[in-house]
Amino acid sequence: MTIRVAQIGTGNVGRHALTQLITDPRFELTGVWVSSESKAGKDAAELAGLDNSTGITATTDLGQVLATDPECAVYTAMADNRLPDALEDYRSILAAGVNVVGSSAVFLQYPWQTLPDELVTPLEDAAKAGNASLFVNGIDPGFANDLLPLALAGTCQSIEQIRCMEIVDYATYDSATVMFDLMGFGKPLDDLPMLLLVGHPHAVNPDGELRAEARRRGWPVHDFRTGRRAALIALPAAGAAGAVAGGVAAGVAYRRRRDGADS
């Protein structure tokens, strides 16, 4: 018996998910949601880079996709720069009685004590109302944030410190939104990249002025002491996401360290 599935998002992760849904006989593709008008109206096979037409065309209308009566939705749409919209998408899908598996937003892997209650509760209420489930596997497309740390921890008698390092050549990463808007490539070195749009004020690694303002306004304060280093490029360069002019950030390094037995 096949599982009726809708695909939400056809970007770098979504294309692979869509290919699986089309070619795997265990699944029946019911609909495809896209974020851009340039993709709307195209056959799902074309968006996945496949030859044979599926007869299912993409739409920007989420309600139209839910009307195809899927049992499950695969959610891979960009969330970093549209978090309120993404959470509302999840709420609508769950309330419609459709189970969801997804790769974004990453922190929905374990949202409790990560997101404010006013963001988590509507998702829980929608899931209960629709008798549906939500599973987000973390970093696209999973295992690095969830399974790998648990597996490695199983080899340790005790844990005093956890350090994570990710090294990626982003020259081949063809997402302009992630590269330029979120991570700050191609921007002046003093420009602060928008790594996450939460829609709720949190002060992270604040200096004295920001810490004082956060306390005055009652904002949560998180002090991870995560370092960001940006490398300056002198000459113009090009990558899959677009061109980078000289004299701007071309390399970004983040460091995350957490000490203690509860890490």
Span 123-139, pLDDT tens digits: 999 999 999 999 988 66
Give pLDDT tens digits for 146-198.
Answer: 677 778 888 888 888 777 776 767 777 666 666 666 666 666 655 655 544 44
- Give the chain's domain count: 2
Any domain includes 143: no
| CATH code, 62 | 3.40.50.720
Q: Are 145 and 108 in contact (CB under 8 A)?
A: no
Range of the domain at 227: 162-259
Give pLDDT tens digits for 54-68.
Answer: 999 999 999 999 999
Neighbours of 90 (CB within 10 A): 25
Closest by Cα among 66, 18, 26, 12 to 43: 18
φ, ψ dihedrals at 75, nearest 5°? -105, 110
CA distance 70 to 93: 10
Average pLDDT in the 219-247 region? 56
Average pLDDT in the 7-19 region? 92
CA distance 231 to 237: 13
Question: Cα separations (Å) of 237 from 212, 232, 240, 243, 249?
Answer: 41, 12, 11, 6, 11
Any domain includes 17: yes
Please determine, for residue 77, whether its predicted confidence score (pLDDT) is greater than 80. Answer: yes
